[in-house]
Structure 1
């Protein structure tokens, strides 16, 4: 009886050691964010496990130039339309696993994110009130770039799936970041603006209900320049699926 118990114990120990060795051999994970696709945001990540509790993930995302989803929630003005936006971001994310480890279980992850955006074809339909001019309707086309640097914290959980634990399901429950955004957006008028129109255009742009940015406006005969220098808040959540090797 004792020999049987000893044999069973040895077998269990060998199986546990084999499983742990298998986990330690598969220290690389590649993933794609599935939920961001609905917003034309394509994100890919590579995670490297260093110990049972610690890993580092680096992700890259890009948005092809196109119409901006939910733009009416950001710029609430009927005179602004045709906005096209594209950009990219890079995120560096150390992860600390609290559960089973080796890439599965609950984790907390501080992170740094750099984002860059190109803004094009933003048209502002300006209506002149200068009594000295006849042409009252003046479209002004804006384009420019913005950059932001952010730090944040995310809470999530990751599961290993399949008979060999080769597949990965990564759920970002909630994450938030804070940083700064800067950039310059230049608007070109369809014709030269009078001094009266320049002052009026400056006031009109300053009165726009843009909820995300603080900005400074200067105008000239060619149009307007908007300088962005503002605090930036962002949130992260989603579901990624990938492969472990």
Structure 2
């Protein structure tokens, strides 16, 4: 009798252990080609607009990853108001996703991501980033009408080439999913990112007044015109005028810029 009671107690004690479900396997460790901690992605919509991009994410620990994003284009648009040019609003508001009037540029963006559900490369995340961008512009044109001393409206234009460098920082939020039977297909929805940076650069061009070179000598009015047309350029910019070549140079350009970004990327987990 005692042996039967002991056997019954033993069986009852084993029931909780038998009822426990095994831990759900982490999809980042299953079916991967390497170790499941490296993800390579691109935004196909930006690619269609000529904004080539590649993103490589590496899982560092549960809920933490590092990503390096590279953006590049070597083909610029024929617009006289290219994205980021000094006389356009885009010089102080950098929008990464889809820009129709592209300038030549190269962007490097290291990112650090925190996944809120402690997932290994999947779930909602918050990230911080640093952005470096180098841009060049060609055949850009500033045009303005202003009254002469006689009260006549005159047409002024400056056609220029320019270069700029941006250093910025920001934060963003998004969500990433692992799809497919083997969880190797990756969908990354970068919901919204915002940041702030500093732009430095220079430009060199040829100015015309009513179809003729600006009169030699005094360029005070011309400098005042350019100061009004260059977006948020601080007072440290230096203006120089070459009467022999009819050229204008503006160096030491510096201003603040805001960074906005969003997008949808697809990729593969290795």
State the secondary structure of the residue aligned to 2:30: helix
1:186 aligns with 2:197: no
* 1:232 maps onto 2:242 in alignment: no
More strand by share: 1
Aligned-residue Cα RMSD (Å) equals 3.5
Q: Give the TM-score normalised by structure 2.
A: 0.71
Runs of 5+ consecutive residues of structure 2 not aligned to the other structure = 1-10, 91-100
For residues 1-245 of structure 1, what are the structure 2 equivalents within 5 Å? 9=20, 12-13=21-22, 16-17=24-25, 19=27, 21-22=29-30, 25-37=35-47, 39-63=49-73, 64-66=75-77, 67=79, 68=82, 74=89, 85-125=103-143, 140-189=158-207, 193-195=214-216, 198-208=219-229, 210-211=230-231, 213-214=233-234, 216=237, 218-220=239-241, 221=243, 222-227=246-251, 228-245=253-270
> 1:98·1:105 contact (CA, 8 Å) conserved in 2?
yes
- C-alpha distance in 2, partners of 1:18/1:171? 21
Task: Name the counterpart of 1:79.
Answer: none
Q: Could you list the runs of 5+ residues in structure 1 that have no partner in the other structure?
A: 76-82
**Mean alpha-carbon deviation: is it higher for 144-153 or for 21-30?**
21-30
Q: Distance in 2 between matches of 1:149 and 1:217?
A: 21
| Rg (Cα) greater in structure | 2
| CA-CA distance at 1:137 after TM superposition | 6.8
TM-score (norm 1): 0.78
Paired with 1:21 and 1:154, the residues of 2 have a C-alpha distance of 27
Q: How many residues align?
A: 230
